[in-house]
């Protein structure tokens, strides 16, 4: 691991002032915020991340979960995944988020991993994690070893000829269906970014994964008021029953009136280069009867643009069945 | 390396020798290391050399850790993981290094009462924190109920993952966990046992939960 300077700021403003001196806030940043450490320290051990300065944001008071005046929820950047998953209001009103969090990692890691850290979770693509291999995300311009390589777990939606790395987060998939807002404080003040705009497609700059600029600190995430009467499901399919990243996952927030679906929020995980909201599936569902035929049509719409790689054609049908099954779970019992 | 204490004799069975496997290896290994010291120091110098004009990153960072109830005032390289700090600086070797990447759970300890992977945390992040390692749970003479249950249920083979399993299992007792074996398996999935002692590990945990 490369040497670094460890910085304990007294407040968010100080943390932002130091971080604003970074050349980039994206891959290879020379200054990094340190929260739970579960991704960053792992990647530093692999020399994939080599920051010269680390700013510890764990003691800045960003660890609270609070009700908002409009009836929603404010989740601090350093709220641990386990605290969020087991929070009474999250379990009751935003259960898709609780389910997604508890489907991720292990109990120990969930005690460490944070809300903002999970938003910025890095891909598990083996070529990204191995500095001996070509990877446009880690080292722009070197090529993509995953295309034509070991790509069984990689993306079938949102990929480019430069990068096919999967976004591994479960939490972000749930946040997409809950239409969360990411609150960022930077050197020029604060701004609110809808979750759908926060992550970027790889295009020809896969090293840029989010809209964050040097000095930008994610301070908290807000959720709108819960949708009364909605049914929420997170279904995750993987190679093991637990403690494994998704091959395909589906988050569903569904409201019904007698005979038809009135509102649907659908997102997929494990298949996209970013958390994959599917407005296509949502528009198929709304106004239609909640039955298997509708669900299958929605799943087909969600995967219409899927482009499998050499080893992962199975994920197209797996993702369809995952979403279909999640919709069944949300409408039965 | 400071204050490395000889370990207590093995708690299980009728072993009476005061030479533990570790103290034997430490003694036997010392002779072999002596010749390599000069080379290591030279390597260390080049490894830490900073270009002129840059900040001196050789500086260590002060941190106070309360480990198993005892306060330790330390200076550590900021790169030192909590795991390496416990094992190498404080010489508490009950916590094991398995994968060193948060994938196996062998390094599980409690920080302020909650279980974490000590390999994915820097020691300097824990200034003022209370750390509990397996050495702080019980002693061979007065075992923690979970330690006793692991012995009674034969919940290990090689034992390398055991301290991490026990630390996880003790933390689980205070977490929201359903009553069934499947619930325990799910919350213990972060601790890998390559010997495959899972059935007996679950049995040990359930035994403690029933009697708690």
CB A277 within 8 A of CB A299: no
Q: Who among B117, B185, B186 is closest to A108 (CB)? A: B117
In this prediction, residue B25 carries a pLDDT of: 59
Residues of B in contact with A86 (CB under 8 A): 176
CA–CA dist B13, B16 (Å, integer): 9
User: B78 and A108: CB-CB below 8 Å?
Assistant: no
Residues B117 and B180 in one domain: no
β-bridge pairing B61-67 and B130-132: parallel
Structurally, how many domains does chain B consist of?
2
Give residue A331's Cα distance to chain centre.
Answer: 25
Which one of A6, A58, A239 would you mutate to disrupt binding with B, by most B Cβ within 10 Å of its Cβ?
A6
Radius of gyration for the alpha carbons in chain B, expressed in angstroms and rounded: 19
User: A42 and B187: CB-CB below 8 Å?
Assistant: no
pLDDT class for B21, splitting at 50, 70, 90?
A: low
Domain annotation covers residue A166: no
Residues of A in contact with B78 (CB under 8 A): 3-6, 54
Nearest-CA distance A319 → chain B (Å): 23
Query: For the whole model, what pTM was predicted?
Result: 0.91
Residue A300, domain CATH: 3.30.390.50
* Residue whose token pair is 């009136």: A257
Question: Looking at the complex, does the CB of residue A1 fall below 8 Å from at least one CB of chain B?
Answer: yes
Domain annotation covers residue B163: yes
Question: Looking at the complex, does the CB of residue A45 fall below 8 Å from at least one CB of chain B?
Answer: yes
Total CB pairs under 8 A between chain A and B:
84
CB A177 within 8 A of CB A96: yes
In terms of Cα–Cα distance, which of B197, B149, B155 is closest to B173? B149
In this prediction, residue B27 carries a pLDDT of: 55
Q: How far is CA A3 from CA A50, A51, B46, B77, in A?
A: 8, 8, 13, 9
Nearest-CA distance B139 → chain A (Å): 24
Domain annotation covers residue A189: no
Judged against a pLDDT cut of 90, whether residue B42 lies above it is answered with: no
The last residue of one of the domains, among B110, B136, B162, is: B136
* Residue whose token pair is 């601790």: B191
In this prediction, residue A259 carries a pLDDT of: 87
CA–CA dist A230, A179 (Å, integer): 14
Between B44 and A217, whose confidence is greater? Answer: A217
In this prediction, residue B29 carries a pLDDT of: 53
CB interface of A with B, residues 63-122, below 8 Å: 82, 86, 105-109, 111-112
Closest residue of chain A to B164, computed from CA coordinates = A108
Closest residue of chain A to B115, computed from CA coordinates = A108
Domain annotation covers residue A219: no
Closest residue of chain B to A56, computed from CA coordinates = B125
Q: Who among B57, B102, B176 is closest to A38 (CB)? A: B102
- Write out the residues of chain B at the interface with chain A, using a CB-CB cutoff of 8 A: 48, 50, 55, 57-58, 61, 78-79, 81, 100-102, 105, 108, 114-117, 120-122, 124-125, 127, 168, 171-172, 175-176, 185-191
* Residue whose token pair is 């482009």: A307
CA–CA dist B125, B134 (Å, integer): 21
Domain annotation covers residue B165: yes
Q: From the DSSP assignment, how many helices (H) and strands (E) are in chain A? A: 12, 12
In terms of Cα–Cα distance, which of A100, A290, A298 is closest to A180? A100
Closest residue of chain B to A42, computed from CA coordinates = B101
Domain annotation covers residue B74: yes
Closest residue of chain A to B78, computed from CA coordinates = A6
Domain annotation covers residue B49: no
Domain annotation covers residue A142: no
Residues B159 and B191 in one domain: yes
Domain annotation covers residue B175: yes
In this prediction, residue B15 carries a pLDDT of: 38
Domain annotation covers residue A15: yes
SS3 state at B8: coil
User: B115 and A108: CB-CB below 8 Å?
Assistant: yes
Which one of A108, A109, A113, A121 would you mutate to disrupt binding with B, by most B Cβ within 10 Å of its Cβ?
A108
Domain annotation covers residue A43: yes
User: B176 and A42: CB-CB below 8 Å?
Assistant: no
Nearest-CA distance A231 → chain B (Å): 22
Residues B104 and B165 in one domain: no
Structurally, how many domains does chain A consist of?
2
In this prediction, residue A12 carries a pLDDT of: 97
Residues B153 and B198 in one domain: yes
Domain annotation covers residue B100: yes
CB A56 within 8 A of CB A34: yes
The pLDDT tens digits of the residues spanning A298-319 come to: 999 999 999 999 999 999 999 9
Question: For residue B151, what are the domain limits?
Answer: 145-211
Return per-residue pLDDT of chain A as tens, 333 residues.
Answer: 999 999 999 999 999 999 999 999 999 999 999 999 999 999 999 999 999 999 999 999 999 999 999 999 999 999 999 999 999 999 999 999 999 999 999 999 999 999 999 999 999 999 999 999 999 999 999 999 999 999 999 999 999 999 999 999 999 999 999 999 999 999 999 999 999 999 999 999 999 999 999 999 999 999 999 999 999 999 999 999 999 999 999 999 999 999 899 999 999 999 999 999 999 999 999 999 999 999 999 999 999 999 999 999 999 999 999 999 999 999 996
Q: Who among A54, A111, A243 is closest to B115 (CB)? A: A111
Residue B185, domain CATH: 1.10.150.120
CB B143 within 8 A of CB B151: yes
Q: How far is CA A54 from CA A60, B57, B130, in A?
A: 15, 12, 23
Average pLDDT for chain A: 98
Residue A29, domain CATH: 3.30.43.10
In this prediction, residue A171 carries a pLDDT of: 98
In this prediction, residue B212 carries a pLDDT of: 76
Least confident of A87-91, A268-272, B51-55, B60-64: B51-55
Q: Who among B122, B176, B191 is closest to A41 (CB)? A: B122
Judged against a pLDDT cut of 90, whether residue B4 lies above it is answered with: no
How many other C-beta atoms lie within 10 A of the C-beta of residue A140? Answer: 16
**Is ipTM over 0.90?**
yes
In terms of Cα–Cα distance, which of A283, A325, A330 is closest to A302? A283
Tell the burial category of B25 from Cβ atoms under 10 Å away from its Cβ (0-12, 13-18, 19+): exposed
Domain annotation covers residue B205: yes
Residues B98 and B130 in one domain: yes
Judged against a pLDDT cut of 70, whether residue B16 lies above it is answered with: no
Residues of B in contact with A42 (CB under 8 A): 101-102, 120
CB B190 within 8 A of CB B106: no
Question: Looking at the complex, does the CB of residue A56 fall below 8 Å from at least one CB of chain B?
Answer: yes
pLDDT class for B20, splitting at 50, 70, 90?
A: low
Question: For residue A43, what are the domain limits?
Answer: 5-56
Give residue B42's Cα distance to chain centre.
Answer: 30
Domain annotation covers residue B153: yes
DSSP states of A112-126: H-BHHHHHTPPP--T
């Amino acid at each position: 691991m490369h040497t670094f300077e460890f910085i304990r700021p007294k407040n968010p403003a100080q943390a932002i002032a130091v971080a604003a001196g970074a050349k980039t806030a994206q891959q290879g940043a020379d200054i990094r915020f340190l929260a739970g450490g579960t991704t960053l320290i792992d990647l530093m051990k692999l020399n994939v991340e080599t920051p010269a300065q680390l700013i510890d944001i764990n003691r800045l008071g960003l660890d609270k979960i609070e009700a908002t005046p409009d009836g929603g929820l404010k989740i601090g950047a350093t709220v641990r995944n386990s605290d969020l998953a087991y929070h009474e209001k999250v379990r009751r009103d935003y259960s898709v988020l609780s389910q997604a969090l508890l489907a991720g990692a292990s109990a120990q890691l969930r005690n460490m991993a944070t809300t903002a850290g999970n938003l910025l979770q890095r891909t598990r693509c083996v070529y990204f994690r191995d500095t001996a291999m070509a990877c446009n995300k880690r080292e722009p311009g070197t090529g993509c070893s995953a295309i034509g390589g070991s790509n069984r777990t990689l993306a079938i939606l949102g990929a480019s000829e430069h990068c096919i790395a999967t976004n591994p987060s479960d939490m972000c998939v749930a946040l997409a269906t809950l239409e969360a807002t990411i609150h960022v404080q930077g050197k020029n003040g604060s701004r609110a970014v809808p979750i759908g705009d926060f992550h970027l497609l790889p295009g020809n700059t896969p090293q840029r994964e989010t809209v964050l600029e040097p000095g930008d600190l994610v301070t908290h995430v807000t959720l709108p008021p819960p949708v009364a009467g909605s049914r929420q499901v997170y279904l995750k399919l993987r190679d093991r029953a637990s403690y494994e990243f998704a091959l395909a996952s589906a988050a569903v927030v569904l409201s019904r009136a007698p005979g038809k679906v009135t509102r649907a929020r659908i997102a997929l995980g494990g298949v996209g280069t970013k958390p994959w909201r599917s407005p296509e599936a949502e528009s198929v569902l709304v106004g239609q009867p909640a039955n298997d035929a509708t669900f299958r049509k929605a799943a087909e719409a969600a995967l219409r643009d899927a482009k499998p790689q050499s080893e992962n054609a199975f994920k197209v049908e797996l993702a369809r069945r995952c979403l279909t099954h999640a919709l069944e779970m949300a409408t039965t019992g | 390396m400071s204050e490395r204490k000889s370990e207590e004799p093995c708690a299980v069975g009728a072993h009476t020798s005061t030479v533990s496997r570790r103290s034997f290896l430490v003694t036997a290994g010392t002779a072999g290391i002596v010749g390599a010291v000069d080379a290591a120091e030279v390597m260390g110098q080049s490894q830490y050399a900073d270009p002129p004009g840059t900040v001196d990153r050789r500086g260590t960072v002060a941190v106070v850790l309360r480990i198993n109830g005892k306060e330790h005032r330390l200076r550590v390289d900021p790169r030192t993981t909590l795991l390496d700090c416990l094992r190498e600086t404080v010489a508490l070797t009950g916590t094991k290094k398995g994968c060193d990447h948060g994938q196996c759970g062998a390094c599980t300890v409690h920080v302020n009462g909650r279980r974490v992977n000590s390999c994915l945390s820097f020691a300097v992040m824990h200034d003022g924190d209370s750390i509990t390692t397996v050495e702080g749970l019980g002693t061979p003479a007065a075992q923690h109920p979970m330690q006793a249950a692991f012995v009674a249920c034969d919940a290990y083979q090689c034992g390398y993952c055991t301290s991490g399993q026990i630390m996880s299992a003790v933390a689980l007792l205070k977490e929201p966990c359903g009553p069934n074996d499947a619930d325990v398996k799910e919350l213990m999935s972060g601790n890998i046992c390559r010997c495959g002692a899972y059935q007996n590990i679950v049995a040990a945990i359930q035994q403690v939960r029933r009697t708690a």
